[in-house]
Amino acid sequence: MAFVPLAPLPSTKSFLLLLFLVVLLFLSHQQRICLIHRDSPESPLFDSSSTTDEKWRWFHQRSVAYRDHFQAALEGCRKSLTPLAREDEEAGFDQISGEYVMEFAIGTPPVRVTGMLDVPGDFIWTQCVPCPGCSPSPSPLYDPSKSSTHITFSCSLMECISLEKHKCSSNDTCEYIQSYANDVPTSSVLTSDVFMINSVSYNNMPFGCGSDDSFYTRQVPARVGLIGSDMFSLVFKFSSAPFTFSHCFRKDWDDPFGNTSSDLHLGTDARLKGRTSSPLTKCRVGKTV
């Protein structure tokens, strides 16, 4: 009878390396992101000199802007929604009127950026150097020329062609065009670079490099789309299949000036025990609801 020799057991170092890689892979499929209300004292955008009247005025302006943005984003979906789904969708407008900010880093070496979470948004934007039309920012702007991992997309690449509204510049770079709330159009150059959230890096993350203030408010240098697109938004790029996220959107009238923070969970970390979930549905116009 012939005996088949057993494979040698892995050494302790090999086993530890394998274990480390498994843990790293698991962590890369989950994220817990701290969201801070932009008017919170913990926010880098907090203005201690602002009066209560000013805070209420900004709060009202944000609510109106987000209502208009949600209505515009979902207008093309209404015909494909049932009457009950339309009632649920409209009932949720007043519940998600606040603006949260989050911090991440872009590039090599990394530059820390503060971005506003845009729930129905389908893209990640940030103001980039040079930015002649930008207001002063509380943090340094990302400069693609100083990042060794920066890539600019050409018009012939699939990432550019897949964009519903894009145009080619004179040097064949891809520009993405979109309007927000007040219908003021803005454009950005489609770019990719290393993104880092909570010390976890994501290579070749596509985003838009902007050079004006059209898409930004009150000195927020970036906007992070959460669920709008299955190619560029945060939940689809940073979480693992089946693309899950969880976040408790508090009612702003309980804390209109943002003294509390909350967490956004992506990927496997978003599956909360004892909680119900709702599937994301793709509309005919490409929006997610």
The domain spans of the chain are: 33-270
| Two structure tokens written together for 220 | 């927020």
Q: pLDDT tens digits, residue range 98-139?
A: 478 888 899 999 998 888 877 667 778 888 888 877 777 767
Q: Does domain 33-270 have CATH number 3.10.450.750?
A: no
Which is it for strands 184-197 and 151-152: parallel, antiparallel or unpaired? Answer: antiparallel
Quick one: average pLDDT of 37-42? 79
* pLDDT band of 85, cuts 50, 70, 90: very low
Reported as a pLDDT band with limits 50, 70 and 90, residue 213 is low
Q: Which amino acid is at 266?
A: L
How far is Cα 89 from Cα 181, in angstroms, rounded to an integer?
18
User: Residue 266 to residues 2, 212, 239: CA-CA distances in angstroms?
Assistant: 52, 30, 5
Average pLDDT over residues 180-196: 74
- Lowest-pLDDT choice from 9-13, 47-51, 53-57, 82-86: 82-86
Question: With contact defined as beta carbons under 8 Å apart, do 224 and 234 qualify?
Answer: yes
Q: What distance in Å separates the CA atoms of residue 155 and residue 71, rounded to the nearest whole number?
A: 30
pLDDT tops 60 at residue 287: no
